[in-house]
Structure 1
Amino acid sequence: MKMKAILNKLFLLSFVLLSYGLKAQERPNVILILADDMGLADFSSTNGGLNRTPVLDRLRAEGVWFEQAYSGSAVCAPARASLLTGKYPHRTGVVSLTMKTEPEVTSLKTNEVTMADIFKANGYQTALVGKWHLGILPPFHPMRRGFDHSVDFLGFNLKTYYDFKLDENGTFKQYTGHYLDDVLTDHALDYIETNKARPFFLHLAYSAPHRPLGGPEVLIDHYLKKGFDEKTAKVYAMLEAMDKGIGRVLHKLEDLGIDQNTLVIFASDNGQDPGVGPRFNLDMKGHKYLVYEGGIHIPLLFHWPGHLEAGTTLDIAHFTDILPTLAELCQLEVQPKVSRDMDGASLVNSLQGKANDDLPDARFWQWNRHEPYYSHNAAVRKEHWKLVRPVADSLMEYSSVIDAPSKLAPQLFNMDSDASESTDLSEQYPQKVTELMDLLEQWDKSVEKDRLKDVDFVDGQLKKKLQEKTTEPKK
C-alpha cells in the first residue's frame, strides 16, 4: 500500500511538472524592438516610398497598427523609463538626458520594478541587446534591473557606428569596422538560438537613426542618387539597415519554428531629431524635444502570427500601456501594488478589435532639461482635444536649462480636424482650456510628489547605501 501511495504521488508530481512545462513553453516569447529618433513618417508605407522599409511595412500590414500611438516623452531616457515601468517618467526619477553630468535625474530609481523584473519573476529568460539610457552608475546597470543577459552601450560612448564598445554582461568589448546595428542583430540572433526552447523576453534597442549619423555606404549612395541631402541619405540608410536586421530576426524565428509563439512589438522612443535636418514628417508640428505631435506621436505595432488579426486601431495608446498589455497577454503575475501604481492600461481589447473602455481618459507629457518646470513644454490629450503649454526657450532642446516658470498662454487643438496642430482654438473654447489646464496641474502635482520620493541621490551624490554596491554585476 505504501509503495502504491508513493507511486501515485510520484505520478501526480510528474503530471504537475509536465503540465507546468507545457504551460511554460506555450507562453509567448516577447521581442520588444525600439528605434531611436525614428519618426512616424519614416516608414516607407507612410511616406509614399521615400525610403525602403519592407520588413517594417510587412509587420504593419500583418500586425495591429496603432494609428494614435504616443511615447512617454519627447526624448530618449524618460521615454524608456516610461516604457519599462508602465509609469509616467517623472515618477521614476528619469526626467533629463545627460547621464554623465546629471545622473540624479537620468537614473531609474532602484525601487522601481521594471518590465524585465516582472518577466524574470514569471520564469522568463530576459535580455537587453542595445541602448541603455537609464543610469550610468553600477546600481543602475541593466543586469541589476531584471535583465539576466545584457549586451548594451551608452549613447555617449558611441564614437561612430563603426567604432564602439559594447558592455557584454559586465565586460567591455571593442568593435572596429563592424556596423553597430548589425552587431546588435547578431547578438539578438545568438540569444534567440540559445533560448529557443524556453520562454524569453528580449528588448532589442537599436541605435538607428540617432546621431552620430553613419550607415552602410552602398545604402547611403542609393539615397544620394535619389537626390536626398547627405544627412537625410544617411538617416534613410540607417533605417534601411535596421529594417534588414529586423528581417533577420523574423527569419530566425521562422527557421526555429517559434514565430507563431513569439510576439514582436515595434516602436520608436520619440520623433525625429531636428539636429539632423528636416525631412518628410507628415506635416506634424514639432520634433524630438517638443510635446507637439512631431515629438511624441510615434509608430507602434504588435505582430503575433496566428493570434492577432491584422488591422488598425484608432484607440489612443501610450508607452505606459505596453507593460500592462504584456502582463495580460503573457499571463504574468504582477504584485498588486506594482500593478496599481502603473499609469497605463491593457491594450488587449484594442488588439482584438474590441471596445476598450479601460484606457485612461487623459494622457500627459512634459519635458525640459534637468529638473522639471511644468509650465514649459507640457501637454495633455483627452479624447480629440489636446492642450499644449509651449516652451518659452527655443534652444531648450540643445543646451538651455530652464530656471523660471513660463508666462506663455496655453494652446488648444482639435486633433480630429487639425492633426498638424496649426489652429489654436483656445480663445474659442475657454472652458475646455480651463478643464484641461486643471487636469494638467493635478497631474503635475501627482508626478512631482512621486519624483521626490525614494530618491537615490542627495545633493547630486549617490546615497551611501548604494555606493557600497559599486562593483560590477556578476557575469
Structure 2
Amino acid sequence: MKFPAKLFVVITILFWSGSSVSCTSESQKEEEVHQTPNVILILADDFAIGDLASFNGGITKTPSLDKLIDEGVYFNHAYSGSAVCSPSRAALMTGRYPHRTGSVTLNMQQYPELSRIAKSEVTIGNVFQENGYKTGLIGKWHNGLGEEYHPLNRGFDEFEGFVGFNVSETYFKYSLDVQGTYHDVDDKYLTNDLTERAKNFVNRHKAEPFFLFLAHYAPHRPLSAPEELIQNYLDKGFNKNTSTIYAMIEVMDRGIGELVDELKKLEIDDNTIILFSSDNGPDPIPGERFNVDMKGTKYTVNEGGIHVPFVVRWPDTLQPGERDQVIQFTDVLPTLADLLSLDVKEDLKWDGGSFRDILFDKNAAGDLPPYRYWQWNRGVPMYSHNAAIRDGDWKLVRPYVTRNVPDAESSARPVLYNIADDPSESVDVSDENRTQYQKMRVYLRQWARDVENDRLKIDD
C-alpha cells in the first residue's frame, strides 16, 4: 500500500513572467522582481495522512488538499523531523537534526532551553532573507521564548502568530503576537484569522519576492470548531472529539483553497510552488482515529508518528505524480536552496540533502543521505528511548516507552522492520537479518553520540 507522503508543507513559489520592456525603463526593474520565485510553506499540526479524504474513503472533507495532491508531486515516503512539534519544526527550519539545534522536547514553559533553536543556527527565514526575499511567518512559532529567539530575530521580517501556548482554551479566544505586540482576539476563529493574514501577506508583497511560512495550528488541541461542522460528523457516527478534529481540518482545508484562489486572482498561481505537510502524526490524547493502518501516533517514532503527507505543487513546471524515494524534513531547506539557486554560506552543514531532481524525474536518485534518524523523549535526550534509523526499506526502532520524562535508560530490545513488506510495523525480522540488524544498531548509536556531542556544545 502506498501512503500519501505529500508534504503538507505547501511551498508556493511564484515565478512572474514579465513582458518585454525597455532596458532603461523603471518597469524593467519591476519585471526582474516578478521573475524571482516566491515560496509559501504550509504546515499543519498533528495532522495525519489518514485525515485526507483521498486516503480515508471520503470520511473527511478536504477538497483543497486533495486537489493539491492531484496537481502536485506527492511523496509516498515522507517523514517529519521528529515525533513531536518543536524538534520537528527545528529540523524543517534548519535542515539539521533537531538535537544539533538544541530543540529536542516539548513545553517551552517547562523546558525553555530544550525547546528553542540555538542562536548560532541559520534558519530557513535567514536564508531567504539574505537572498532578498520578504519573509513572513503566520501562525505557530514553537522554537524559542524571549526577544533573542523571537521570529523577528530569526530571519522573519513579519510575524503574526503565537508561541505555542497562547491558544489555551479555544480557537475562538486567543492572543496573537503581531510584530512583537500581543493582541487579544475573541471575535474570530483562529484558523480563519490565519488564512486572512496569509492572503493579506501575499497581496502586500505580490510585487517583490517573498517567502511565507504559514504554520496552521489545526487540528491541534484545544479542540474547537463551528458547531454546524461538528454536527455533520456527529451525524456520521463519529464521537465528539473526532468530529471536532475533522471539522477543524475542514476549516483549514477551506482556507488553503482560498489562499490558492487568491494567487489565481493575482495571476501568480502558475508561478507558485505550494508545499504542504504536517509536523508529526495524530495526537492520541483526544482519542485515536483512522491513519491508514500505521502503527503509533504522535510521540512515537513508529510510522504513525513520523510518516506524514508531503506534496509539492508548481503548475506548468512540475508534472503531477507520485514519488517513492524517502525524504525527510531536513531535506526541505537544502532542496529549496538548490531549486531556487539561493546563495548559502559555505560553512552551513546540513544533515539533509536535495530532492530537486526527484521533483522533475521520478526515477532520479536525488542528492539525499542514505540513512535517516529520529529520536524523542520528554526532557533531556535518552537515546535508548524512542529512536529509529531508516536504511532503504529497512527500519530499526528502539521502542517507545513513555510520554513522560523517562526514569532511566531503556533496556527494551530494538526491533527491525521491512517497511516495503510490512508498512504497519507488525513483524520483527531481526532474527532473519542479523547482519542488517547489527549494522543499523551500530549506526544509530554512532549518530546518537554525534548529535549529542553537538548539542552539548551549544552555548546559548
**TM-score interval w.r.t. the shorter chain?**
over 0.9
The one of 329, 334, 344 equivalent to 2:352 is 344
1:19-418 mapped onto 2 (5 Å cutoff): 22-158=31-167, 159-338=169-348, 341-353=349-361, 354-391=363-400, 393=401, 396-397=402-403, 400-418=404-422
Once the two structures are superposed, residues 273-326 of structure 1 have per-residue CA deviations (whole angstroms, 9 ceiling, x without a partner) of 001101111110000000000000000000111111100000101000000111
Q: Which of 436, 439, 451 is the equivalent residue of 1:447?
A: 451
Deviations 1:125-176 (A, max 9, x none): 0000000000111110000000000001122221210000100001111110
Q: Secondary structure at the match of 1:156?
A: coil
Report the Cα offset of residue 23 of structure 1.
Answer: 4.0
- Find the aligned partners of 2:455 and 2:364 in 1 and give their Cα distance: 33
> How far apart, CA to CA, are the structure 1 residues paired with 2:357 and 2:222?
40
Q: C-alpha root-mean-square deviation of aligned residues, in Å? A: 1.5
Q: How many angstroms apart in 1 are the aligned matches of 2:30 and 2:120?
A: 32
Q: 5+ unaligned residues in a row in structure 1: which ranges?
A: 1-13, 457-475
Separation of aligned partners in 2, 1:412 and 1:59: 34
3-state secondary structure, aligned to 1:213 = coil
Q: Quote the Cα distance in structure 2 between the aligned partners of 1:412 and 1:333.
A: 40
Read off the aligned partner of 1:216 and give its amino acid letter: P
Offset of 1:26 from its aligned partner?
1.2
Tell me the percent identity: 49
Structure 2 residue identity aligned to 1:351: L
How far does residue 25 in structure 1 lie from its aligned partner after superposition? 2.1
Gap runs ≥5 in structure 2: 1-22
Instruction: Name the aligned partner's letter for residue 67 of structure 2.
Output: R
Q: Per-residue displacement from partner, 1:1-38 (whole Å, max 9, x unpaired)?
A: xxxxxxxxxxxxx7699877544321211110000000
C-alpha offsets along residues 349-375 of structure 1, whole Å, 9 cap, x if unaligned? 111124124211010000001110001
Structure 2 distance, partners of 1:413, 1:26, is 47
**SS, match of residue 274 in structure 1:** coil
Matched residue type, 1:439: Y
CA distance in 2, matches of 1:248, 1:369: 37
- Distance in 2 (CA, whole Å) between partners of 1:53 and 1:386 is 31
Contact 1:93 1:455 in 2 (8 A): no
Say if 2:437 is the partner of 1:433.
Answer: yes
Supply the distance in 1 between the matched residues of 2:190 and 2:376 (Cα, whole angstroms). Answer: 29
Q: Which amino acid aligns with 1:446?
A: D
Read off the aligned partner of 2:102 and give its amino acid letter: G
Q: Distance in 1 between matches of 2:323 and 2:48?
A: 19
Q: Distance in 1 between matches of 2:214 and 2:105?
A: 22
Q: CA deviation at 1:260?
A: 1.3
Q: Which whole-Å CA distance do the structure 2 matches of 1:360 and 1:23 have between them?
A: 35
Q: Write the distance in 1 (CA, Å) between the matches of 2:208 and 2:40.
A: 14
- Whole-Å Cα distance in 2 between the matches of residues 141 and 255 of structure 1? 33
Contact 1:27-1:261 at 8 Å conserved across structures: no
Distance across 2 between alignment mates of 1:253 and 1:296: 31
Q: CA deviation at 1:234?
A: 0.4
Q: Deviations over 1:202-229 (max 9, x none)?
A: 0000010000101111111111111111
Q: How many residues align?
A: 437
Inter-partner Cα distance in structure 1 for 2:230 and 2:341:
44
Equivalent-residue separation in structure 2 for 1:318 and 1:19 (angstroms): 39
Q: Check the 8 A contact 2:330/2:353 in 1, yes or no.
A: yes
Give the secondary structure class of the aligned counterpart of 1:253: helix
Is residue 165–residue 175 contact of structure 1 (8 Å, CA) maintained in 2?
yes
Kindly indicate which of the two structures has a greater share of residues assigned to helix.
1
Tell me the SS of whatever aligns to 1:83: helix
1:462 — aligned with what?
A: none
The amino acid that maps onto 1:425 is V
**Whole-angstrom distance in 1 between the partners of 2:62 and 2:415:** 35
Q: Over residues 27-52 of structure 1, what are the superposed CA-to-partner deviations in whole Å (9 max), with x where a residue is unaligned?
A: 21111000000011110001111111
